[in-house]
Amino acid sequence: MKIVLAPDSFKGCLSAGEVASAMERGLRAGWQGKTPLQTVRIPVADGGEGTVSALCESLGGNMVSAVVQDPLGRPVKAEYCICGDLAVIESAAACGLTLLEESERNPLKASTRGLGELILDALSRGCTNFIIGLGGSATNDGGRGLVETPGLLGCKARFTVACDVDTPYIGPEGASRVFGPQKGASPEDVEILEKRLTDYAKVIFEKTGKDVRNIPGAGAAGGLGGALLAFFGAELKPGAEIVLEAVGFDAEATDADLVITGEGCSDFQTPKGKTPAGVLARSKAIGVPAALLSGSVKSCPELLEMGFSTIMAATPEDMPPHIAMVPQTASALIEEAARKLAESLSF
């Protein structure tokens, strides 16, 4: 019995590698099958937290750092990976929500300028090929801060953007209305942000001829996807797809009996480009069933209809999140859930 473990990180709690290790321990503890159990750990990501570490390890790159502006314009040390002429950057390293205290979260003020400064640093080191992960941002400026970074426009480089959602630039399912509240926006703020992005989409069209308003992924990271596409010719791709290709998922999973993926919380957003959706799609393509084992699961039609062979939540419904997200507790919960899954698989 061969099982491939391909989870994302449980954000704010465990890295993807730590989640995969906990799954492995639980599976081995619960395995009672007649055939030996073989497990293969492939930590993955979707363009958000963990993307750089997953790709840097796979590609054999080196981590470097630069001091850039955080979302509020303060200096912050941001790390990224260089492998030859390739730079792998998480926008969250400069523009991330985790760089701010909860009381500081304000997408009306947060800027993507720091990402522009990180790209300039990589260009100065000879990088001409970029993978930019867009998950976990604190921003909703439509990419304006990035575009207005002095000296960045016109750079000679190729950009591939790893999107963790397929959100359009504006509209009911757009960046401001879907993700603005998570970044600290009040209902009134959301309408201001929507107006700003609507106006900036017009500016983008006037300057580049690109209409980014309804392009899937253009609203990722508060509109960064659209700005990178229009001003820098970036290719927008599901982040999980980029990472799975780089880590050789297909080759490892082709002869597997099961793939197990997961994330901190699975809900209606999971089918929209999150890691489990990418893993499931690749697993279906090679004819291998996939199970979902996440920290928590919010049952909804979108999730139930995806086609996972099993959907499990590691956290008991009555356990408060602040307790469940203690790393040692989360690891133990994942182990126990994986143990139960192994017992159900044993034959």
The pLDDT value recorded for residue 73 is 97
The pLDDT value recorded for residue 346 is 65
The pLDDT value recorded for residue 347 is 56
265 and 215 in a common domain:
no
CATH of the domain at 116: 3.90.1510.10
Quick check: helix, strand or coil at residue 189? helix
Ramachandran angles phi, psi of 79, nearest 5°: -100, 150
Residue 33, domain member (yes or no): yes
31 and 15 in a common domain:
yes
Residue 246, domain member (yes or no): no
Beta strand spans in 270-336 (E) = 290-294, 296-297, 310-313
The pLDDT value recorded for residue 207 is 97
Helices then strands, counting H and E runs in the chain, come out as 14, 13
The pLDDT value recorded for residue 247 is 85
139 and 99 in a common domain:
yes
Residue 156, domain member (yes or no): yes
What's at 27, amino acid-wise? L
234 and 95 in a common domain:
yes
Q: Which whole number is the average pLDDT over 244-255?
A: 92
Q: Which whole number is the average pLDDT over 26-49?
A: 90
CATH of the domain at 37: 3.40.50.10350
The pLDDT value recorded for residue 87 is 97
The pLDDT value recorded for residue 272 is 82
At 72-118, the pLDDT tens digits run 999 999 999 999 999 999 999 999 999 999 999 999 999 999 999 99
Residue where a domain stops, chosen among 240, 267, 291? 240
Residue 150 has pLDDT above 90, yes or no: yes
Number of domains in the chain: 2
Q: Which whole number is the average pLDDT over 43-68?
A: 88
Q: Which whole number is the average pLDDT over 24-41?
A: 94
pLDDT-based confidence at residue 11 (cuts at 50, 70, 90): confident
Residue 248, domain member (yes or no): no
What residues contact 101, with CB distance under 8 A and at least 6 apart? Answer: none
Q: Which domain holds residue 110?
A: 51-240
Residue 247, domain member (yes or no): no
194 and 70 in a common domain:
yes
Stretch among 82-86, 162-166, 200-204, 320-324 having the lowest mean pLDDT: 162-166
The pLDDT value recorded for residue 136 is 87
322 and 228 in a common domain:
no
185 and 88 in a common domain:
yes
The pLDDT value recorded for residue 331 is 97
Mean pLDDT of the chain: 94
Residue where a domain stops, chosen among 209, 240, 271? 240
Residue 245, domain member (yes or no): no
Residue where a domain stops, chosen among 217, 240, 263? 240
Residue 70 has pLDDT above 90, yes or no: yes
230 and 89 in a common domain:
yes
327 and 213 in a common domain:
no
102 and 28 in a common domain:
no
Look-up: residue for tokens 């899954």? Answer: 341
17 and 57 in a common domain:
no
C-alpha triplet 174, 179, 184: angle, nearest 5°: 140
Measure the N-to-C terminal CA separation of the chain; round to a whole number of Å: 10
Residue 309 has pLDDT above 80, yes or no: yes
The pLDDT value recorded for residue 101 is 94
Residue 277, domain member (yes or no): yes
What residues contact 258, with CB distance under 8 A and at least 6 apart? Answer: 1, 2, 3, 4, 288, 289, 290, 291, 309, 345
Residue 84, domain member (yes or no): yes
The span from the CA of 49 to the CA of 252, in Å, is 23
76 and 40 in a common domain:
no
